[in-house]
Structure 1
Amino acid sequence: TAVLLVAAAVTVGQYLAAGTGRRRFWTFVLHGTLAAMFLVGPWAPFASHFEVFESGIHRAEQTTQPQQYFAHFGLFVVLGLIFLAVRYREELRARNGLPGRNIGLMCVAGPWELLSFAAFVAGLMAFTWQFGVTVVAVSILIILLLANLLWLELRSTRPDLGRLLATGCFLAAFGIAAGVDVVTVNNDIVRMNTVFKFSLQAWQFFALGGAYAAWYTGSRAWGFRDWRPIMISSRPVFAATATGAVAVLLVAGLIFPWSGTRSRQDARFGDTSLTLNGFAFFEHGTYREDRGTPDPADDVEFALADDQPIVEWLRRNVEGSPVVAEAVGGLYHWTGRISMLTGLPAVIGWDWHQVQQRWDYQRYIQERRSDTQVFYQTSDVAFTIDYLRKYNVRYVVVGTEEVALGTPEGLTKFTTMDALTQVYSDGRYAIYEVAADRLPPLTVSR
């Protein structure tokens, strides 16, 4: 999307620039080359070493219902439609109400044309609803109207750059938002990542176009006299209705951030007060760890605050990016918290993210998980040595999750190993530093 945006900007910029065609062409080549260097160059080292699994696209098997689409983009859609209405009226007024051969202008040239066009849109929605492609069908129609506006602007003797950019942003937004109903990027969870990633891009384009549209249409409907707003539109009913619709949608859109944020905070952070301290949740949080058996009686409940000293010690005393060993558990558990809160690499990360991003290497991911589980449960020192060498572990953490998911004999063995030095201790919890030069050689082939 970024590449297409830059390419469009460079192309349109030189199309509108003053000067001879030859000069504009070579300027276009220069700008395009510089853009490619700055876009592709810094990205190339990463891209050349990045491996993508199950790449490609396929036809979308699921589509977005109109009410769902409107819930996400309703405010921007209304701003876009108001912008379309104002711009088409301006184009018709500039032609004294005569649409000429422009089909888009013909559709809205008069009351009967507008009524016929509205009937067509209603019929299109009714027909496509049963097939689940209403969003795509209506979006295509809006895209055609926007593309026509873009064409009219480019053909104008004095193109307005702001209108041009806003129209282009709306065009990209409607195209991307509807595109997720046409194709889905191959992945393991239907179309969640496709909708998530592309809808964010659509949202950005909607926001840019919508901000300009709000100013552009609002300045033609309202003015100020003695610091008081006054209606200046020649169509006061339309202006008042449009303003009311935008106001209602804006207020409705603010309800969730206002109420939802507080509810989420209450659910996750309890009585934590407003603070800039990202670790404040430690004070009130508790967690109940399921040890993987059907019997809830052996579940272990602990306070998150018990892990805070461990995290703070590592953040304060460790330099560089040494590997940390910490317990592994089920998805959405408290495991993985040491790596997450310190930024240090762990032997194994969050299970399904690792699987998703290294699909063809799932065997090695499961091997790391299995090895880490055994590491905290076995009393076998030889296995422990092999584990530390194999994964180049520098620090071994024994915190809440390790006590809950490990075994007494598995944790006690750390105190008997010459290569491990206890650098932090607080009751049952500890951190051990591994001296690699004191580790015996590998005892088995792993």
Structure 2
Amino acid sequence: YVRDNFGVRMNTVFKFYYQTWILWSLVGGYGVWRVARESKVQFLLPYMFCVVLVVVGGFLYTGLALWSKTNGMKGVVVGNNTLDGMDYIRRSNKDEYDAIQWISNNLPDDIVILESVGGSYTNYGRIAANTGISTVLGWPGHEIQWRGDYLEINKRQNDIEVLYSCRDWTLALEILNRYGVKYVYVGDLERNIFSRNSLDKFSKNMRLVYANQSVELFELY
């Protein structure tokens, strides 16, 4: 398999096997027909039985896998079905949902909002993902996967951690200017990682433009 930052076969399956099997399916269809046409009569019935068995087995997996992965179709609560990708935020963290809505409706798209950095498949990167506004760094693992530049990604992650955790406003301002950050977001995730004393520098040196019970958004002026 292709050795990449995953270290296992996953990326090989995604990038090569799926496409290869699509191409092989075309060849396989022709192959089944060609072998059937060239087979002697006494071998044709067993051959077609094997072909049908393989095809039915493939479709059988599709149905059983769907049933298994959806917990017998019980994984979704009837009545809460929605195509709104932000509905889970509204139900799990109303303050964050309201903040995201305010940002989407009141701030331009060509700015940079700073938010804390965390692991893949977590709630980190939620502001950029749900508003379409740029941030300094999203999920580091995914950025490394697609960009491959470990040094730049590690540097950005370290700068973000320093910016949130330091109490030196001069250092914080230098990092903000380095990445063209206009707004700093402070929500539950940021407060769970960084101390109140570290976060106080934003309220002392930036303008508070939005706040609710658990979210503060500061503007650099």
Normalised-by-shorter TM-score class: 0.7 to 0.9
Aligned twin of 2:18: 200
Pair member with larger Rg:
1
Structure 2 CA distance, aligned partners of 1:372 and 1:326? 8
Secondary structure of the 1:202 match is helix
- Is residue 187 from structure 1 mapped to residue 4 from structure 2 by the alignment? yes
Alignment correspondent of 1:338: 127
1:308 corresponds in structure 2 to 97
Determine whether 1:320 maps to 2:109: yes
Does the CA contact (< 8 Å) of 1:306 and 1:400 recur in 2?
no
CA distance in 1 between counterparts of 2:156 and 2:193 reads: 16
Equivalent position amino acid for 1:187 in 2: D
Deviations 1:98-155, CA, capped at 9 Å, x for gaps: xxxxxxxxxxxxxxxxxxxxxxxxxxxxxxxxxxxxxxxxxxxxxxxxxxxxxxxxxx
Structure 1 unmatched runs, 5+: 1-183, 221-233, 286-303, 436-446
**Is the Cα contact below 8 Å between 2:2 and 2:9 reproduced in 1?**
yes
Q: Which residue of 2 aligns with 1:101?
A: none
Counterpart of 1:134 in structure 2 is none
Closer, same or farther: CA 378–422 of 1 in aligned 2, 3 Å: same
Specify the alignment match of 1:362 in structure 2: 150
Map of 2:159 onto structure 1: 371
Distance 1:235 1:331 in 2: 52
| Identity, % of aligned positions | 29
Q: Deviations over 1:377-406 (max 9, x none)?
A: 223221221121111002211112111112
User: How many residue pairs end up in the alignment?
Assistant: 213
d(CA) in 2 for partners of 1:338, 1:265: 31
Q: TM-score, normalised by structure 2?
A: 0.77
Aligned pair partner of 1:386 in 156, 167, 174? 174
Once residues 313 and 397 of structure 1 are traced to their aligned partners in structure 2, the CA distance between those partners, rounded to angstroms, is 12
The alpha-carbon deviation at position 283 of structure 1 amounts to 4.5
In 2, Cα distance between equivalents of 1:318 and 1:235: 69
Q: What SS is found at the alignment partner of 1:322?
A: coil
* SS in structure 2 of the partner of residue 423 of structure 1: strand
Deviation at 1:191, TM superposition (A): 4.4
Whichever residue aligns with residue 315 of structure 1, its letter is S
Aligned residue in 2 for 1:246: 55
Structure with larger RCO (C-alpha < 8 A, sep 6+): 2
Report the CA distance between 1:312 and its aligned residue: 2.0
Q: Partner amino acid for 1:369? A: Q
Shift of residue 213, structure 1, vs aligned partner: 5.6
Report the Cα offset of residue 344 of structure 1. 2.2
Tell me what 1:56 maps to: none
| 1:293 alignment counterpart | none
Structure 1 CA distance for aligned equivalents of residues 131 and 97 of structure 2? 11
Superposed, 1:292-303 pairs within 5 Å as none
Cα contact 2:118–2:139 (8 A) shared by 1: no
Quick check: 1:401 aligned with 2:189? yes
**Whole-angstrom CA distance in 2 between matches of 1:263 and 1:432:** 47
Matched, 1:428 2:217: no
Match of 2:84 in 1: 277
**Pair 1:310–1:265, CA change in 2 (3 A):** farther
**SS of corresponding position for 2:182:** strand
After TM superposition, give the deviation of residue 411 of structure 1 in Å: 2.2
Q: 1:394 to 1:207 in 2, by over 3 A?
A: farther
The alpha-carbon distance between structure 1 residues 389 and 284, as it changes in their structure 2 partners (threshold 3 A), is: same
Counterpart of 1:306, as a letter, is D
> What's the secondary structure of 1:204's corresponding residue?
helix
Taking the aligned partners of 1:364 and 1:352, their CA distance within structure 2 comes to 13
Partner of 1:258: 67
C-alpha change, 1:241 and 1:378, in structure 2 (3 Å) is: closer
